[in-house]
Amino acid sequence: MAKSPEQLSVLLGTATLPGLFERLGFTEPCQIEEFYASNFYELLRNPDSGLWHLSSAALADLYRQEVERGFFDDPEEQS
């Protein structure tokens, strides 16, 4: 079930992003700013994308793919 933008914002801010940033080893503000400017974050904050339901480990892997390759594999197609 998709979440409303407000519900998703709360989920991302309190549960998802802190764990994701920890997994990515973000310690500098510029790293977080780059994340917020990424295409990946645009998709993550879209309730219809469904990315919000993935674990922080899976999200970290997808973000690393985007940084390294310029795109990431659709997690639904990997199953």
pLDDT, one tens digit per residue, over 29-48 is: 999 999 999 999 999 998 88
Whether 3 is covered by a domain: the verdict is no
Residue-range definition of the domain harbouring residue 48: 44-71
Q: What percent of the chain has pLDDT over 70?
A: 92
Please state, as a whole number, how many other Cβ atoms lie within 10 Å of the Cβ of residue 20.
23
Q: What is the pTM of this model?
A: 0.82
- Within-domain flag for 15: no
Domain assignment present for residue 64? The answer is yes
- Short-list 30, 26, 33, 29, CA closest to 60: 26
In a domain, 33, yes or no: no
- The domain tally of the chain equals 1
Contacts made by residues 13-16, CB under 8 angstroms, sequence distance 24+: 16/44, 16/52, 16/56, 16/59
pLDDT of residue 79: 47
